[in-house]
Amino acid sequence: MILGLGVDIVEIDRMRHMLDTTGERLIKRIFTNDEATYALAHVEPAMHFAARAAAKEAAYKALSGNQLARAVGWREIEVCLRDDGAPYLVLHGRAKERANELGVGRILVSLTHSKAAAVAVVVLEG
């Protein structure tokens, strides 16, 4: 049974501009150390940061519905990669509490990007 669905799009130029203007402060506020290490290791970090930001926002939307969900922070939703390169989400803190409250048994995430934008879809299954 689907318990939540979220989708989000982030413009890569906007992410690039935010990284250029707020840099390390933005990265530390929004991304985990592993997410930052992954994105910064690529030629076009803004594209990878944008995809992760879209996934976090999509997950936030999928978890929505009460005060606990509204209190979820950026770093409480983490985008990780399996050995085969497929993304998956790890929830921490209030995000994990909210998922438990909903009875989430599985989280599906899909990321894609073009030169202009990154898109993420998150499905919560019970």
- Indicate whether 68 pLDDT > 90: no
For the chain, what are the domain ranges? 2-125
- Indicate whether 80 pLDDT > 90: yes
Written as six digits, the tokens of 57 are: 């926002």
List pLDDT tens digits, range 85-108: 999 999 999 999 999 999 999 999
List pLDDT tens digits, range 25-45: 999 999 999 999 999 999 999
Q: Tell me the fold of 2-125.
A: Ribosomal Protein L22; Chain A (3.90.470)
Listed in order, strand segments (DSSP E) in the chain are 2-11, 77-81, 87-91, 106-113, 117-125
Instruction: Supply the pTM of this predicted model.
Output: 0.95
> 69 pLDDT band (50/70/90 cuts)?
confident
Characterize 35-52 residue by residue with b for buried, 16 or more Cβ atoms within 10 angstroms of its Cβ, and e for exposed: bbebbeeeeebbbbbbbb
* Rounded CA separation 74/2 (Å): 23
